Amino acid sequence: MPRNFYLLLAVQFISTLADNAFLIVAIARVIELAAADWIIPALKLSFVMFYVLLAPFVGPFSDAFPKGKVMLIANFLKVCAVGLMLSGVDPIVAIGLAGLGAAIYAPAKYGLITELIPAGDLVKANGFFEGTTVCAVILGTALGGLLVSPLMNQYSIPSGIWPLDNITTSLTVGMLSLLVLNGLATLLSFSIADSGARYASHSIHPVLLCRRFFSENMILWRDSLGGLSMLVTTLLWGVGATLQLIVLRWANESLGLPLDQAAYLQGITAVGVIAGAILASRFVTLASAVTLIPLGIALGLLVPVMLAVNSVLQAGLLLIVVGAVAGYFVVPMNALLQHRGCTLLTAGRSIAVQGFNENAGMLAMLAIYAAATATQISLDALIWCFAAMVTLGMTAIYLVQQKKRGMGERLAASETI
C-alpha cells in the first residue's frame, strides 16, 4: 500500500474518533445547560443535516480539487466547531458546523481510496479502511464517555491562563482534548500528497447538479435489487441513529447510569456489530443477501426486550446480540447496494446517492424522536413505537419481496410451457 493510503487511514481514524466523542461531549454540554430534552436529538439532526442538503454538491466539489486539500478544509471546519463550543456558542450550532465538515470530508476520503489503490487491491484496502472506521467509532464513543466523566472534571485550567474564564463549564478539558484531536487530523491532512487524478469539468450550476443527482437517485431506486437494499439500509440507518439516543436515555432512566457510563454501552453494541459483520463476511454471499430480510424483523422484535432488563450485565449481553444481528444483516445488504450502485452508476456517484438516502432516513427518524421527546412521550412508549416501526417495516418489505419473487417464478414457468 502507498504511504498516502496509511496517512489517509490515520486521518480517518483520528477524525472519526473525534466526531463520535464530540457528540457525547455536546450532549453533556446540553445537560449542563439544563436545556430541554428534545435538544439532544436536535444535536444529531444538526450534524446529519448537511449530508442531505449538500448531497448533490459535495461530490463535484471533491472532484474539483485534490482530495487532500478537501480533507484539510473539512477537518479545519471541525476544529472551528470545537472552538465555537469552547467559546460558549450553542452546541447545536457548533455540532452543525462539524457536520458540514463531515459532509465535505465523506466523498473526499472514499474518492481518494480509488485514486490511490489499484483495482485489484480495492477490496483489501476497503477492509483496512472500514475496520479502522469501526474501531474509531467504538473508541470514540468510549472516549466521549471518558471526557465527560467525573475523572476529567477534577482537571481544570488555572485562572488567568484560559481566556474564556467567564464561561462556566466542567467540560473545558474534554473540549480541549477534542480540539487537539481535530487539530492533529488537520495537520496530517497537510501531508497527504496530490494523487494526480483529474476529472472532466462539469457545470456547477446548482439546478443542473440537483437534476443530475435526482436522475441518479431514480436509477438506483427503480432497480429491483438496488431499490430493495436502499429501502432496507435507509430504514435501518434511521432507526439505528435514533436508538443510539434511546439507549443513552434508557441506560440513565432504567439502569441509573450517568452519561459517561451509558456511552460505554454504545461501544458494547458496536462490538456486536463487528462480530456480526465478520460472520456475515464468512458465511453470506452477495447472491443470498436478500434472504436475510427476516433478520430485520427479528431485530425489531429484540428492541422491546430492553424493557425487561434490570442490570448492566443483562444490558451488555442484549446490546451485543442486537449489534450482532444488525451487523450480520446490514453488512450484506450494504454490499448488495454498493454492487448495484457500481453497476448502474459509478462508485462515487452511487455512494453519494446511498449517503443521501440513508442520512435522509436518519433526519426523518430523529425529527420524529425529537417531536416525541418534546411532547414528553414516555421512554417505554418510544421503545415500543420504534420496535413496531422496524418490525412492521421489515415485514412489509419481506412480503413485497416475496410477492415479486413469486411473480418472477410464475413468469419464468409460463415461458417454458
pLDDT tens column, 147-167: 888 776 655 554 444 445 555
| Angle between helix 224-253 and helix 379-416 axes, rounded to 10 deg | 160
- What count of Cα atoms within 13 Å lies in the side-chain half-sphere of residue 184? 16
Q: How far apart are the C-alpha atoms of 29 and 175, rounded to whole Å?
A: 10
CB 102 within 8 A of CB 47: yes
Q: Enter the pTM of the model.
A: 0.78
Domain range summary for the chain, segments of one domain joined by +? 1-191, 206-417
Q: Is 111 helix (H, G, I), strand (E, B) or coil?
A: helix
CB 90 within 8 A of CB 52: no
The overall average pLDDT reported for the chain is 80
| Domain covering 206-417, topology | Growth Hormone; Chain: A; (1.20.1250)
**Given pLDDT bands bounded at 50, 70 and 90, which one contains residue 415?**
very low
pLDDT at position 77 is 94
pLDDT in tens, 296-349: 899 889 888 988 888 888 888 988 898 888 888 877 787 777 677 767 776 556
Q: How far apart are the C-alpha atoms of 407 and 161, rounded to whole Å?
A: 73
Nearest to 252 by CA among 153, 379, 357: 379
First-residue to last-residue Cα distance in the chain:
55
Q: Give the pLDDT mean for 57-83.
A: 84
Same fold? 1-191, 206-417: yes
pLDDT at position 135 is 78
Outline where 87-170 has alpha helix (H): 91-116, 122-147, 150-153
**Given pLDDT bands bounded at 50, 70 and 90, which one contains residue 107?**
confident
In terms of CATH architecture, what is 1-191?
Up-down Bundle (1.20)
Q: How far apart are the C-alpha atoms of 63 and 122, rounded to whole Å?
A: 19
